Amino acid sequence: MSSNKIVLSTGLTGKGELTTISTTVFPQITDNQILLRGVAYAANPTDWKHTVLQWGYSGSIVGSDASGIVTQIGKNVKGFEIGDYVSTTLRGNYSIDKGGFAEYVIADPPTTIKYDKSTFSSEPLPVGSFPASIINTFEGAAAITLSLSTVGLSLSHSLKIKPTKESNSSKYILIWGGATSAGIVAIQIAKSVYGLKVITTASKKHHEFLKSLGADATFDYRDSNVIDQIKVFAQGKIYYALDTVSTIETYQQTYDATAGSPTESYDNLLFLPREAIKTDPENKARFSGTIVYLANGEPQELGTVVYPTQELLDDYNQFWYELLPPFLKDLKTPNLRVLKPGFESANEALELLREDKVSAEKVVFRYQS
């Protein structure tokens, strides 16, 4: 193999113009990386936003979620073998060498999951919609990893939740945006891994689905009095709050809904600072914005260079390598919307997200049938 088929960011913003298909040289991994042959891919809001809002670089490989089969392993890497079925998340729209939507994908072990082949079907899902299920297909695997890595870093490090179910059993976490991909995963992790009670918001049509994942209470974010509804239900027992939608409006709502509770920490997924919302200056809670790209241990360019702390890596690695594995077999994916195979589907997937036509589901496609 001398080349690698890839999906590149064009730098254009017109409908159907966000990506183009190209080829580049075959990727070379470091001693600390693995290489996988891509099988399926999932689109995320960050993918189109990096292009349209110019967060990333024109001419870089698009995509943050991929699944496939391990073909090479760096000499320092432990726990993986050639032929393993895996999924990985990485920072797309940032490099010509490393991105999710590629025939061959460079992956970092700290953000890669290995699956049990005996419970996994390699057969492609046909075009169409599929309900949430355990992770047993390449499409399902591709749909989960970015959200899982993000939620793991948020709950373990940003929110500083202790992994002791007994002490968490009477505490609530508020997850604003339960029907987002991150919200769907966060509900399950908060409930099953950390033993918290879960309050979440979503459109009414998703309430029963989110309760099936473990949410104790669901509220319609469109209700004019949703803040008061949450406060009445919580009875002052919200200890943690995560805004997965992460606009200034939703972060403010998340904060306001915790009034009267001894909330210890607040987090959002778009690096919004505390100063972006109105808070009580006497509130001593921890406010943070999770930067999932730091989970692989490498510094990241985000306007300025941000370095992962040892505390961040320790917290995340405990989650990824100790807390997550026993629960992985029970974790459910979002609902899946499967597009036709081929990198030509990348534009369609990103447009569906940009036009806000995706709800409580993940858009996925294969490299080929």
Long-range contacts of 16-23 (CB under 8 A, 24+ apart): 16/347, 16/348, 16/351, 17/347, 18/48, 18/51, 18/52, 18/62, 18/346, 18/347, 18/350, 18/351, 18/354, 19/51, 19/62, 19/101, 19/343, 19/346, 19/347, 19/350, 21/343, 21/344, 21/346
Judge whether residue 53 has pLDDT over 90: no
Is there a single domain that holds both residue 137 and residue 40? yes
Q: Are residues 348 and 269 in the same domain?
A: no
What is the structure's pLDDT at 1? Answer: 62
Q: Are residues 172 and 262 in the same domain?
A: yes
What mean pLDDT is reported for the chain?
A: 96
Clarify whether residues 355 and 311 are in a common domain: no
Tell me: do 183 and 216 sit in the same domain.
yes
Q: Are 121 and 136 in contact (CB under 8 A)?
A: yes
Show the tokens assigned to 223.
């209700």
Looking at the predicted structure, is the pLDDT value of residue 125 above 90?
Answer: yes
Domain with 239 in it: what CATH number? 3.40.50.720
Report pLDDT for 55: 75
**Per-residue pLDDT for 195 more than 70?**
yes
Tell me the CATH number at 55: 3.90.180.10
Helix axes 226-234, 248-256, angle to 10 degrees: 40
- List the one residue out of 106, 181, 187 whose CA is nearest residue 144: 181
Given a cut of 90, is residue 151 above it in pLDDT?
yes
The answer to whether residues 168 and 74 belong to one domain is no
The pLDDT, as a whole number, for residue 50 is 83
160 and 134 in a common domain: no
Q: Is 309 in the same domain as 209? A: yes
Report the largest interatomic distance among the alpha carbons of the chain, rounded to a whole angstrom: 62
Q: How many domains does the chain divide into?
A: 2
Between CA 80 and CA 199 the distance in angstroms is 37
Q: Give the C-alpha separation, 9 to 96, whole Å.
A: 10
Q: Looking at this protein, which amino acid is placed at residue 190?
A: A
155 with 174, same domain: the answer is yes
Same domain for 221 and 262: yes
Q: What is the pLDDT of residues 76-121, one digit of tens each?
A: 999 999 999 999 999 999 899 999 999 999 999 999 999 999 999 9
Long-range contacts of 185-188, Cβ-Cβ distance < 8 Å, separation of 24 or more: 185/144, 185/147, 185/148, 185/150, 185/151, 185/331, 186/147, 186/151, 186/154, 186/155, 186/242, 186/244, 187/213, 187/214, 187/215, 188/213, 188/214, 188/327, 188/331, 188/332
Q: Token digits for 266? A: 């607040």
Q: Is the pLDDT of residue 56 over 90?
A: no
Predicted confidence band of residue 19 (pLDDT cuts 50, 70, 90): very high
Same domain (yes/no): 195, 295:
yes
- Cα distance between residue 160 and residue 163, in whole Å: 9
Structural domain range at position 35: 3-144+333-366
Q: Report, as an integer, the average pLDDT of 131-155.
A: 98
186 shares its domain with 265: yes
How many of the other CB atoms lie within 10 Å of CB of 30?
Answer: 12
